[in-house]
A and B are shown apart, each in its own frame.
Chain A
Amino acid sequence: MPLLEVEDLRTHYFTEAGPVKAADGVSFTLEKGESIGIAGESGCGKTTVAMSLMRLIKGGAVVGGKIMLGDLSLLDMPMKEFLKVRWERISLISQAAMGALNPVYTVGAQIVEAIQIHRKVSKSDAWEQTRGLLAQVKMDPQRAKSFPHELSGGMRQRVMIAMALACDPDIVIADEPTTALDVVTQVQVLRLLIDLQKRLNLSLIYISHELSVLGQACDRIIIMYAGKIVEMGATTEIFTSPQHPYTQKLLSALMDIHSDISIPESIPGKPPDLLNPPEGCRFSPRCTVGQENCGEDAPVLVEVAPNHYVACHRINESK
């Protein structure tokens, strides 16, 4: 039985113009000790999926689906119970490196808070643990007494990682943990995360729009487009035989950068408006290999190879 099982997750934001279907039938599983990456263009719903797992959706709601953590049904739990799942079982390293720490408390105090919410330990023990955690992320434990504004972006993100590990969670969600950092620091933080994941046997959900990063960090990759999963499979599968036209475009864009031959082939057109997504396959308006029925009914995920799923009419029919 997988550690985490997400089934047909639907999350909508309610706006004056109507519901924004930011996650529309997302299903995937996560095993113990596995790291899984979610990739996709900005606005495709990656953060929405992460926040749905934490039940932290603001301005919207999870309108359907099921999230099972072991035999706990996360969406059906009363909020009071669910507070214990947060951080104890699932912790979050959020997208905004700069703003994720409260500016008026020392970073140590913020880690201590995380510990003391979930564990009955004395203050001094909690501080002791905090210093240990900081050492674990290769920071000077004395830095516990610093305020966030006194730390560099990289150190702050390390603090976030230390905090995420504070309660020995089963799952860590890292939502673009390196986006706001400079390149050198990005690499350091990424290394640290990969290292910790291996060493602590964590289950990691790593969100990024950079496939190259996911290639280094993850066992499996999910490609999302406009609130839906279009392709999902082992990292090597995705990189060596991408099936969905969208994945192929993403990869060729990536390869172009690395081969340094020409400017990356950008994907023509804009990501769809999630208020009124296109009929049928959502990628069809931008798809260069599309066919007749693409604009009519939505393709479903089909297993094209063992544990390699693709949602595309072309592939499905050729099968």
Chain B
Amino acid sequence: MPGTAADIYATAGRMTEDERLAIVARFGLDESLWVQFYTYIGRAFQGDFGQSFTYFPSNVTTKILSALPWSLFLIINAMILQVIIAFVLGATSAWKAGGKFDATTQAISLALWATPMFWLAMLALYLLGNDLGWFPLAGQQTPGVTYATWFNKIGDYYYHAALPIMVLVVNQFGGYQLIMRNTMVTTLREHYITTAEAKGASDTRVKYKHAARNAMLPMVTSVGLRFSLAVAGSIFTEMIFNYNGVGRLIFQSVGMRDYPMLQGCFFILSCSVIIANLLVDILYQYLDPRIRY
């Protein structure tokens, strides 16, 4: 999608040639690409991604930072749910590996994983939001309300985030579930499981307290890597549900060729992925005593 934002406005007939040149100069687009790139990198590391073309004169960083909490709200809630669902389903399907439940859950979660998320989001918006009217169609909070209590506020946030989170969860829990299930199958062959059973522990205790507790470790490790998948998913869900997070900002910037904004979003998302990985590493130490230093 080549071209500059100035070209877009010019072809849309909103601008004279003089105005176009003025804008090109204003954003430094007349410099060579290398100069532009060099200037950009230099500033990016100071947290300055320049000014947005579309939200001019808004600063890219301010714009992104105001959108980021909403994205994180979706992503973190979705990931927690995914991990919980995967924990229970993966443990249960491995408990009788090769059985009916195992085959069914694997078939379903693979199918959901192979389904394009944006399509799921479209269907969810249409069926659950539009047809049944259970969920709001857009936005991240009811416009123009003042919340009576703190509780109402959180409730309203969740009410608006429910569909996007649901789509993220449904589409992405399969990855965790597969890891959980496969590790659980091998964990169940461990001798300490036999020990636990010999101790007279009930099935539930053996399954969760001993097997799943150990089998969850690789899944937890994968949370860090999979964070970037959730970020990708949030682009689609935010776009379709008109949820004003970073994902929607990216989508809009693509349409407007707002390169400073795109690069800024990418930078911030990469940073949040790295931070998520660090957090997971720290959490992991609490879950696996063998790793503690």
> Hey, which bits of chain A sit against chain B, CB under 8 A?
54, 56, 83-88, 91-92, 94-96, 99-104, 113-114, 117-118, 147, 149, 160, 163
Contact = CB atoms under 8 A, between A and B. Distances in A.
A94 B200 contact: no
A83 B290 contact: no
Chain B interface main SS type: helix
B190 interface: yes
Interface string B195-214: 11111111001000010011
Given A94-B198, A103-B192, A163-B199, 5 more contacts: A56-B198, A91-B199, A94-B194, A100-B191, A117-B205
Given A147-B290, A149-B289, A149-B290, A100 B192 contact: yes
A122 to B, nearest CB: 19
Contacts of B290: 103, 147, 149
7 contacts: A83-B202, A86-B198, A92-B198, A101-B192, A102-B195, A104-B287, A113-B199
B201 A104 contact: no
Contact of B288 (A54, A104, A118): A104
Contacts of B210: 102
A78 to B, nearest CB: 13
Nearest to B192: A102
A117 B195 contact: no
B201 A113 contact: yes
A118 B200 contact: yes
Given A88-B200, A102-B210, A113-B199, A147 B289 contact: yes
Contacts of A96: 191
A163 B192 CA distance: 13
B199 A94 contact: no
Which 7 pairs from chain A and chain B are nearest by CB? A86-B200, A99-B191, A96-B191, A102-B192, A92-B198, A147-B289, A83-B200
Interface in B173-195: 190-192, 194-195
Contacts of B202: 83
A83 B201 CA distance: 7
B192 A87 contact: no
Nearest to B202: A83
Contacts of B194: 56, 92, 94, 100
Contacts of A95: 191
A117 B288 CA distance: 24
Interface string B140-164: 0000000000000000000000000
- Most chain A C-beta atoms within 10 Å of own C-beta, residue among B200, B201, B202: B200
A67 to B, nearest CB: 15
A117 B210 CA distance: 14
Contact of B289 (A88, A104, A113, A118): A104
A149 B195 CA distance: 17
Nearest to B289: A147
A117 B198 contact: no
A279 B146 CA distance: 87
B63 to A, nearest CB: 44
Contacts of B200: 83-88, 114, 117-118
A104 B202 CA distance: 19
Interface string B29-55: 000000000000000000000000000
Contact of B195 (A84, A85, A100, A147): A100
A53 to B, nearest CB: 10
B214 A94 contact: no
B198 A91 contact: yes
A91 B194 CA distance: 12
B196 A56 contact: no
Given A104-B213, A147-B290, A149-B289, A86 B199 contact: yes
Contact of A101 (B195, B198, B201, B213): B195
Contacts of B205: 117
Interface in B88-116: none
B191 A103 contact: no
A57 to B, nearest CB: 11
B192 A117 contact: no
Nearest to B209: A113
A262 B59 CA distance: 88
A89 to B, nearest CB: 10
Nearest to A102: B192
Contacts of B191: 94-96, 99-100
A295 to B, nearest CB: 37
Nearest to A99: B191
Contacts of A56: 194, 197-198
Contacts of A94: 191, 194-195, 198
A54 B196 CA distance: 12
